[in-house]
Homo-oligomer: A and B are copies of this chain.
C-alpha cells in the first residue's frame, strides 16, 4: 500500500465516522428518509472532495480537526448532486458506486427528498459549525464559498447547461464551461475552504486556487476517460454511459489521446502551482498525480 493509499484510507475513516454521526439512525427523523440519506452518503465513495479539504488545510499548516465539518458538508452537497443527477428525469442512471441508485431502491419521491435533505443539512452543519468558530470571518468566507460553488454560478448552473447540451455536438469551449461549473467549482471550493479554515493568507490562497482549478478540470477529464475506457467493475457504472447519453465530454470532443494529454498538462500546472509550498503539501501533490494516473496510465 502506497503512502497516498494509507493517507487516503486514514482520512476516509475520519470523514466516514463524522458523516455517520451526523445522521444517526434513531427517531425523531422519519425512518425511511434517514435510511435513504445514509444509503447514498455512507455507500463508500472515494471522498475526494473532503480529503482535498483536509489535505489543503494541512498544506497551510492548519488544524484539520477544524476543517472536518466543512469537509463533511461538501461531501453531503456532492452526494445530493449525485442522487438528483441519477434521477430518471435527469441522467436516468440505475447504478452508482457499484450499487443501485437511490431512486431504484427507495423510489423517486424519497430520492428527491434525500437529496433535498442532504443539501439542507449541509448548510445546517455549516451554520452550527460557524456559530461556534472563534474566527467567524474565516467561517463566513467558507460558507459563502461553498454556497457559491454549489449554486447557479456553479454546480447547479453546470448541470443545467449539461442537460441543455445533451444531443448537441459540443464545442470544446462549451465542454469546459460545463465542467468548470458542474464538477470544477466544488472541487476548487474544497481546496480553497480547507486552506481558508487552515488560516491561509492571500499569498498562499493564490497558488492553491490555481491548483484547485487545474485538478478540478483534470478530475472531470479523467472521469470522462474512465467512463469511455474502463470496465464497469472499475467505475461502478455501466461502461460508455456518457456516449449513450451523448454527453458533452472531453474525449468526445478531443478524442482519447488528446484528452489524456490535456489531463497530463493540467497535472503539470497543478504541481507547478504548488512549487513554493513545502512538504506539508505532499498529500495535495500525490492526490493530483493519483487523479490523473487513474485514467492516463497504461
Q: What 0/1 pattern do residues 150 to 191 of A give for CB contact below 8 A with B?
A: 111100110111011000000000000000000000000000
CB of A109 within 8 A of CB of B89, answer yes
Q: Tell me which of B29, B110, B119, B127 contacts A140 (CB under 8 A).
A: B127
A257 within 8 A of B: no
Q: Tell me which of B84, B117, B144 contacts A151 (CB under 8 A).
A: B117
Interface of A is mostly: helix
Instruction: Report the interface size for chain A: residues with CB under 8 A from the other chain.
Output: 49
**A11-39 interface with B by 8 A CB criterion:** 28-30, 32-34, 37
Protomer copies: 2
A268 within 8 A of B: no
A-B contact pairs, 18 of them (CB 8 A): A28-B157, A30-B157, A30-B164, A33-B152, A33-B156, A33-B160, A34-B152, A112-B112, A115-B116, A117-B160, A119-B119, A120-B152, A120-B156, A121-B151, A121-B152, A123-B147, A124-B151, A130-B140
